């Protein structure tokens, strides 16, 4: 089996550990007993496999290690935030001490040194935590770099900054297998694309939110990015799809209650009706697509938005006209109905598997 990412390696380890546990259970109950030669060959194969995976991908071989890994991830995230904030305030604290040339040199050097440090750490360390932490600091340094150059030289603000931040975030995310940076890159590029779409629609770039449909193009593009192979990267495809769905469904939700925000030249009520129907249709469609393709993330996100559309609609219909206890009774009954549907869906998924 080819393993391309830490996520896949961890999956393989979990598979081996589950197999070992089940084998031990079967042996205890004398349902399956391997002879010594088979046992030795199996144990030797598993030991070799686990050692090799741990060396290459720093996988967790038991639940204690998994808990520690989670702690390290949280510590790494907090460390990156702390270092980025520290960098920011350090600049402001001593900024007035430097001459213009030194200020420019410091601003340019910060992301450059950050990048070099990230690269060398990623080669040297086995876990990847320090490289990811350094990558986040580097991106913060680059954001600071452009913001402060803009401020020093009184440069007219432009959406292009979001494009270059996104590109650097993507480069760093793909080179250090960092999902947080991928999310930062996705939001930056979505902002850039939506601002550009808004400009084509006659808006000033900062007013992109005046027409929520501006976000649809970015959502559509981002949803299909994982169609290009992402097997090397842990969970990247899910992040693209989930964030693309958020970028699509939130504007749909807004437009289903604020028809005048649309580019469509119809009556406000018609537009709101269309977007309410679109909300149900597309969340249903994506749940179906998620089941068909085995995309659990898409199924879950589709479910969340389907329920959100349903409850906002129920609120619109019934909140004013019903006694509150009847309204909440209906909410409860709908929840039970949804549970039944999801249970059936789960059963059918289990059967097809």
Partner 1 sequence: MKHLPGSKTLFILALSLVLLVNAFILIGVWYNRSGLAESVVVLTERELHMPYRWNRDQTSVRIDWRAISSDGDSYSGYSSPAWFDENKLVSLGFEFSDDSATDYKKHFIEAEAVLVLEYDGETYQQAVKHAQKRVLDIEKKLSRLVDDEDLLSDLKRAKENLKHEEQSASRLFVIDAGLDKEALRIQYPDNQRYILAYGIVDVRSTGSYRNNTKPTFTGRIDRLSVQYLYIDNSVYSNIDKLKPSLQYSRNENSPRFSLAVHYGQKLEPWIDSSSFALLNNSISR
Binding site for partner 1 (CB under 8 A): 6, 56-58, 92-93, 95-97, 99-100, 104, 107-108, 111-112, 115-116, 118-119, 122-123, 125-128, 131, 142, 145-146, 149, 151-157, 164, 167-168, 171-172, 174-177, 202-204, 206-207, 210-211, 232-233, 260-261, 265
Residues 6+ apart with CB under 8 A from 257: 272, 312
**Of 207 and 300, which has the nearer Cβ to partner 1?**
207
Burial (0-12, 13-18, 19+ Cβ within 10 Å), 11: middle
Q: How far is the CB of 242 from partner 1 (least distance, A)?
A: 22
Cα–Cα distance between 201 and 208 in angstroms, integer? 9
**Of 254 and 310, which has the nearer Cβ to partner 1?**
254
Q: How far is the CB of 126 from partner 1 (least distance, A)?
A: 6
Q: How far is the CB of 203 from partner 1 (least distance, A)?
A: 7
Cα–Cα distance between 196 and 190 in angstroms, integer? 10
- How wide is the angle at C-alpha 304 spanned by C-alphas 298 and 307, nearest 5°? 135
Q: How far is the CB of 249 from partner 1 (least distance, A)?
A: 22
**Of 146 and 286, which has the nearer Cβ to partner 1?**
146
Cα–Cα distance between 127 and 243 in angstroms, integer? 27
Q: Among 83, 94, 85, 153, which residue's Cα sits nearest to residue 118?
A: 83
Q: How far is the CB of 9 from partner 1 (least distance, A)?
A: 8
Buried b (16+ CB within 10 A) or exposed e, 143-169: bbbbebeeeeeeeeeebebbbebbebb
What the block records as the tokens of 6 is 């830490």
Cα–Cα distance between 104 and 152 in angstroms, integer? 9
**Of 133 and 287, which has the nearer Cβ to partner 1?**
133
Cα–Cα distance between 302 and 6 in angstroms, integer? 27
**Of 33 and 270, which has the nearer Cβ to partner 1?**
270
**Of 66 and 232, which has the nearer Cβ to partner 1?**
232
Q: How far is the CB of 196 from partner 1 (least distance, A)?
A: 14
């Amino acid at each position: 089996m080819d393993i391309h990412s830490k996520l896949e390696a961890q999956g393989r380890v979990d598979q081996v550990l589950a197999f070992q546990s089940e084998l031990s259970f079967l042996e205890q109950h004398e349902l399956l007993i391997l002879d010594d030669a088979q046992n030795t060959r199996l144990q030797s194969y598993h030991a070799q496999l686990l050692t090799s995976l741990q060396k290459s991908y720093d996988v967790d071989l038991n639940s204690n290690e998994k808990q520690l890994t989670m702690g390290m991830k949280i510590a790494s995230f907090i460390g990156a935030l702390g270092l980025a904030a520290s960098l920011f305030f350090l600049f402001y604290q001593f900024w007035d001490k430097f001459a213009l040339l030194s200020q420019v040199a410091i601003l340019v050097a910060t992301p450059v040194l950050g990048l070099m440090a990230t690269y060398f750490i990623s080669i040297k360390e086995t876990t990847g935590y320090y490289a990811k932490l350094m990558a986040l600091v580097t991106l913060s340094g680059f954001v600071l770099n452009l913001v402060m150059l803009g401020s020093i030289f009184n440069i007219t603000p432009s959406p292009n900054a979001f494009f270059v931040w996104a590109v650097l975030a993507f480069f760093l995310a793909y080179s250090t297998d960092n999902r947080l940076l991928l999310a930062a890159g996705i939001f930056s590029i979505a902002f850039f694309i939506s601002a550009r779409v808004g400009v084509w629609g006659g808006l000033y770039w900062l007013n992109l939110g005046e027409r929520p449909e501006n976000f649809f193009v970015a959502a559509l593009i981002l949803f299909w990015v994982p169609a290009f192979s992402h097997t090397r990267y842990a969970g990247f495809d899910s992040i693209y799809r989930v964030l693309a769905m958020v970028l699509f469904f939130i504007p749909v939700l807004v437009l289903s209650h604020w028809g005048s925000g649309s580019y469509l030249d119809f009556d406000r009520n018609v537009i709101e009706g269309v977007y309410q129907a679109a909300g149900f249709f597309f969340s249903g469609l994506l749940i179906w697509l998620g089941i068909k393709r085995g995309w659990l993330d898409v199924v879950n996100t589709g479910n969340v938005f389907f329920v959100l559309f349903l409850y906002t609609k129920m609120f619109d219909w019934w909140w004013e006209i019903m006694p509150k206890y009847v309204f909440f009774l209906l909410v409860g009954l709908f929840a039970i109905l949804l549970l039944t549907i999801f249970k059936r869906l789960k059963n059918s998924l289990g059967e097809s598997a």
